[in-house]
Amino acid sequence: MNDVTLRKKIAQVAADSSRIVVTKHAVARMRRRKVNLPQVLHVLRKGFVVESAHLNIKGNWQCTLEAHTAGDTVRVAVALVSEPQGLVIVITVMN
């Protein structure tokens, strides 16, 4: 899968916020870095790829997306789980 295809699929799945899972690690980083959930959602839906698409150790496609939102540049490491229904897993958040 290439960067463009993965970005589009992530945005498509993230359009339904019930299909987004934020890990405990990501929540802790969001608090530490003062990044809120609407900012993360904006990155998932509108961001561009800054770390290329690759298969992670769990066999899911992963990349890092970045967008400028609410005066901050926010990066989100994210994995796309295709089975069974398609989920977006937020791994960590950086600014």
Residue range 47-93, pLDDT digits in tens? 999 999 999 999 999 999 999 998 999 999 999 998 777 899 999 99
Listed in sequence order, the DSSP H helices in the chain are 3-14, 24-33, 37-46
Q: What is the pLDDT of residues 76-89, one digit of tens each?
A: 999 999 877 789 99
Q: How far does Cα 23 stand from its chain's mean position?
A: 11
Q: What is the pLDDT of residues 17-36, one digit of tens each?
A: 999 999 999 999 999 999 99
The CATH class, in words, for 3-94 is: alpha beta
Query: Cis link prior to 84 (omega < 30° from 0)?
Result: yes
What are the boundaries of each domain within the chain? 3-94
| pTM score above 0.85 | yes
pLDDT of residue 82: 82
